[in-house]
Structure 1
Amino acid sequence: MPSTPKFLSLALLGLLLLSSTCQAASHGGDEDGHDHDHAEGTYEWVGTFELPKGDHTLTFKKVDGKYADPSILMSFMRLEAGAKFDDDLHKEQKEPFAHALEKTTEAVKDACVAAKKEMGTEDCPMHLEDGDKIDLSELEVHSHEGHDHGRRDSHAGEKESMFVLLEMMDSKAETKFTLSIADTGTYAMITQHMMTEFGENYLTAAGGANVKPTDVSFPPVEVKTTSSSSSTRPLGLGMVLVSLLAIMGYLV
């Protein structure tokens, strides 16, 4: 049987290791401070850009020999001049983006085409391949008026969002799309994945210069806690301490 001082040293060391493990498990996130455990079934990243009239190029690159995903769902919005993608917009766009994600299958695309439905909506995302054009000329400037957390009461003929599914060309190291801007303005790019997962310089202007977002935001993450998760850890530590005291009493 170990001596009391030796046993106490081992017991204290065990408690310290347990404490450090619990602290490490309670922290997460990447080097940018953004936790990738985002809301399931919605977008992951929003970039706001000041884009001049003309054709720009979206480039998706293979990283470590492969694309981050064979395809990526994106939606585009035109915002009021200088606006940012605020919390109200996040609440408003979460539901339609999640809905569009469910409509990205080939079966849905074929049904939309057969029914001659408008493509580029949340019900019928437009499927595009390498070299295709994303034409944003029909986008109206978004206004908070008439919107209530996902309700989109746009007037007839208005189009405040465009949904596209961009499919990667696996036989090529890069897949490119033309982003056509008819009017200079502020545009939001809402993406299923972090754009940097497909390379750092993903948007270039007509002259080849890199275009950086003026603002970047992420969907709010709802932290869910349960009574079991909040009580299990203290209970476990309490049991360890009680057991330790009991053994100490026996040894003494």
Structure 2
Amino acid sequence: MPVTATFSILGDLVKNIGGEHIILNTLVGADGDAHVYQPTPADAHAVSAARLVFVNGLGFEGWLERLIKASGFEGVQVDATEGIEAIPFEKGDEHGEGGQAFEWAGVFELSPGSYKWSFAKIDGKYADPAMGMVILQADGVEAAEEKAEKLLKSSNAVARNHNDVLVAQDTAYALTFDGSRELTVFSVNIYKEGRYAFFTGHMPVEFEADEHFFKDAAGKDVEPLAQRPDTGHHGHHGHGAVDPHAWQNPENVVTYVNNIAASLIKIDPANKAAYNRNRDVYVAELKTLDASIQARINKVPESKRTVVTSHDAFGYFAKRYGLKFEAPQGMSTESEASAKDVAKLIMQIKKEAISAVFVESITDNRLMEQISRETGAKIGGTLYSDALSGPEGPASTYLDMMRHNSLVILEALSS
């Protein structure tokens, strides 16, 4: 029976429960970053052929809705996290709050040409009848943030309406959406190749219905290189502001495999006994794993339980085992850390005498290396957060990933 899982960790769980009775396709494979994944035509074909598509849910797969629609998928979508109590974002988890004039910022690599930025009605109305926007040529959000703030707070915004043209300039736009239309569209003209930072008064996904908000002249989706906050994880069509990395707690993974087994049994009742047997064996392994991790962490003094990682993917692990995780990036690898956040973290590392920081398998580690140099904290090792390693690596299965992470953390915190 052909089934699809959205990323490697979930794929491993599905494989353990489905066993020989399924033909598994995993969209984002080992060492792949689901935060920046862009579906291919081959992926759409695989999804269309699947009887079941297993997804994490909780807003993790921001690209999923468009892929499902493009594929013509007619099977059953299974949210593996259904029934899990998700951890909500704490205030401050999302960059761009705290009195800023913009709610979202994104950086795009653009070639000269004309692009379309669209705003759609959701449930018959726009999220807001108007919105401010600034477009500046800049290498990153941080480089243009101060100027964008000033422009958005000024009283000299230029009014623009449906079909009007926007360009990169030192002026804010006041965009007004046409209430008589389901979709208000603006042309964005780029005259010089480079990186451009867009600052908006609302999250783009608040105005995203059936298609991506930013497209090139050929109608192809244009994705940001970096954004604050990450729209793939929160605020996307009602997913809510929650942490999607629920697999970092083995207790939650019991719910994952229960949901996987139940969905396989429903579509393939002839193999019910096999699916239940596989689930029971795996749940026993999860409980053994959970107990062993807890025993290891219990050896670390509470005053030494602060872990610094690249991006904030370990909230469930921290809550389960009594650790504190800090990260310069937000919930997604697409999020861009601000200089203020980095400076605050460096001060905390020095104050608490944190001896080690950790890099991640799916992130650009230059920022963590900088933090290590400035604080004297060593690089404690590589953690696997959102993806498994390849078959020769230390985290080629979910169980191995959790064992590896806990051992690396324990060794660094105990030194």
Normalising by structure 1, we get a TM-score of 0.51
Task: Confirm or deny that 1:208 pairs with 2:219.
Answer: yes
The answer as to whether partners of 1:61 and 1:67 remain within 8 angstroms in 2 is yes
The answer to whether structure 1 residue 40 and structure 2 residue 49 are counterparts is: no
Percent of pairs with identical residues: 26
1:53: Cα distance to partner?
A: 0.5
Query: Could you tell me whether the CA contact under 8 Å between 2:159 and 2:174 is conserved in 1?
Result: yes
> Aligned partners of 2:95 and 2:149: how far apart in 1?
20
1:188 pairs with 178, 193, 197, which one?
197
Residues 97-138 of structure 1 show CA distances to partners (whole Å, capped at 9, x for unaligned) of 4523xx2xxxxxxxxxxxxxxxxxxxx1110000111133xx
Give the SS at the match of 1:162. Answer: coil
Q: 1:69 to 1:216 in 2, by over 3 A?
A: same
> Which residue of structure 2 lines up, in the alignment, with residue 78 of structure 1?
137
Structure 1 segment 109-188 matched on structure 2, within 5 A: 124-136=156-168, 139=169, 161-188=170-197
> Corresponding residue for 1:58?
117
Contact 1:58/1:204, CA 8 A, preserved across alignment? yes
Is the contact between residue 28 and residue 35 of structure 1 (CA under 8 Å) also seen in structure 2? no
Cα RMSD between the aligned structures?
Answer: 2.9
Give the C-alpha shift of residue 35 in structure 1. Answer: 7.1
Contact 1:41-1:98 at 8 Å conserved across structures: no
Q: Which residue of 2 aligns with 1:68?
A: 127
5+ residue gaps, structure 2, are: 1-84, 230-336, 342-415
Matches within 5 A, 1:91-110: 92-93=146-147, 95-100=149-154, 103=155
C-alpha distance 208-94 of structure 1, shift in aligned 2 (>3 A): closer
Query: 1:43·1:97 contact (CA, 8 Å) conserved in 2?
Result: no
**1:72 match: secondary structure:** strand
Distance in 2 between residues matched to 1:69 and 1:217, nearest whole Å = 20
1:151 aligned residue: none
Question: Is 2:134–2:152's contact at 8 Å kept on the other side of the alignment?
Answer: no
| Letter in structure 1 aligned against 2:202 | H
SS at match of 1:212: coil
CA distance in 2, matches of 1:183, 1:94: 20
Counterpart code for 2:94: H
- Residue deviations 1:9-67, cap 9 Å, x none? xxxxxxxxxxxxxxx9x96459xx6378x223511111000111011011000111110
CA distance in structure 2 between the aligned counterparts of 1:98 and 1:131, rounded to whole angstroms:
21
Per the TM alignment, residue 185 of structure 1 is displaced from its structure 2 partner at its CA by 1.0
| Contact kept in structure 1, 2:148 and 2:199, CA below 8 Å | no
Relative contact order, higher structure (CA 8 A, sep 6+): 1
Verify the 8 A CA contact 2:134 2:173 in the aligned structure 1: yes
Distance in 2, matches of 1:188 and 1:178, equals: 16
Quote the Cα distance in structure 1 between the aligned partners of 2:95 and 2:122: 21
**Partner secondary structure for residue 47 of structure 1:** strand
Q: Please tell me the residue identity of whatever aligns with 1:206.
A: A
The alignment partner of 2:141 has SS state of coil
Amino acid corresponding to residue 55 of structure 1 in structure 2: S
Give the structure with higher Rg (CA): 1
Contact persistence 2:112–2:191 (CA under 8 A): yes
Structure 1 unaligned segments of length 5 or more: list them: 1-23, 104-123, 140-160, 223-252
Query: Any conservation in 1 of the 2:129–2:177 contact (CA below 8 Å)?
Result: yes
Equivalenced residues, count:
145
